[in-house]
Amino acid sequence: MKKDIEKNSEPVDIPILDGFYDCEPFLTPEKAIGQKQGKEYAVAKIIQEQGIKTVVLNWLPPHKLHLAESILSKCKHIMQSTLGEMYLHNDKVLLLFLPIGAPNAAASVEELRWMGITNFIAMGSAGCIDERFDESKILVVDRAIRDEGTSYHYIPPATYIEPDKDLTRQLCDFLKTKDIKFERGTTWTTDAFYRETKSRIAKRKSQGAIAVEMESSALAAVCKFHNLKFCQFLYFSDIVKQDNWSWRGTRESRHEIRAQLIELALEFAKTLYI
């Protein structure tokens, strides 16, 4: 079967490369949420009236929220939606826990920018694919390889996309003040983690990738399309090598690292208002 796929994979017309970037969509957050006049609409009014401009995005499913209990005790829960759980931190910054994947990431940006959010700070986990990189360090995303489908609905095809340069610089300056060990570099965004093959990993490494995750290039593309600011930093929860795969550390240590970095992201977000 696999050989047959290789033989017959000669696409003439690739739908995802159709373009149509200047065309107006039929469904927008304005229509979808505005017509419902539900809780999302009420939350949008709160965000706009309070002048909230920044959101911290993190990937944590509802049944794992207890892992961020120390953080959530300082937050006000304001909405549960199809996108995830939303909290208000310090009356100035939103914290949104999302399901994984590029489509969810794109939809969250679309709805949040309608609500009035203009700054998107993403903090998440990734797999380390470069054995030369010290995986105990944080990776600040300089660019993302677009090996997912969502970004091609927003901007023309290209190998890489970059986050907002100014916001990324501010993030790096902030991490330095906190004595956080980090490096700037390239991440590889994929839709299919069960298709991280040896040959594909080798190619992504040749393109400069240090990490692999599932949202970065989509987030960057949607933000670029709507002229929003976006930056991201990642920690490594697993190691992806040519001949092996493994978790990094224990489950408890990964949870502790995640909680610490969410706190760090929220603290950085607050500096944007000073």
Q: Where are the alpha helices (DSSP H) in 101-215?
A: 102-115, 165-177, 198-206
pLDDT in tens, 249-265: 544 456 677 888 899 99
What superfamily would CATH give domain 27-271?
Nucleoside phosphorylase domain (3.40.50.1580)
User: Which amino acid type is present at position 97?
Assistant: F
pLDDT in tens, 65-118: 776 777 888 888 887 766 678 899 988 899 998 888 999 999 999 999 998 999
Distance CA 120, CA 117 (A): 8
Res 247: pLDDT = 44
- The vertex-254 CA angle with 57 and 251, nearest 5°, equals 130
Name the CA radius of gyration of the chain, rounded. Answer: 19
- C-alpha torsion 50→53→57→63, nearest 10: 10
Distance CA 84, CA 97 (A): 5
Res 43: pLDDT = 83
| Residue 154 reports pLDDT greater than 90 | yes
pLDDT in tens, 165-215: 999 999 999 999 999 999 999 999 999 999 988 899 999 999 999 999 999
- C-alpha torsion 201→161→88→139, nearest 10: 50
User: Helix or strand or coil: residue 42?
Assistant: helix
Instruction: Break the chain into its structural domains and give their ranges.
Output: 27-271
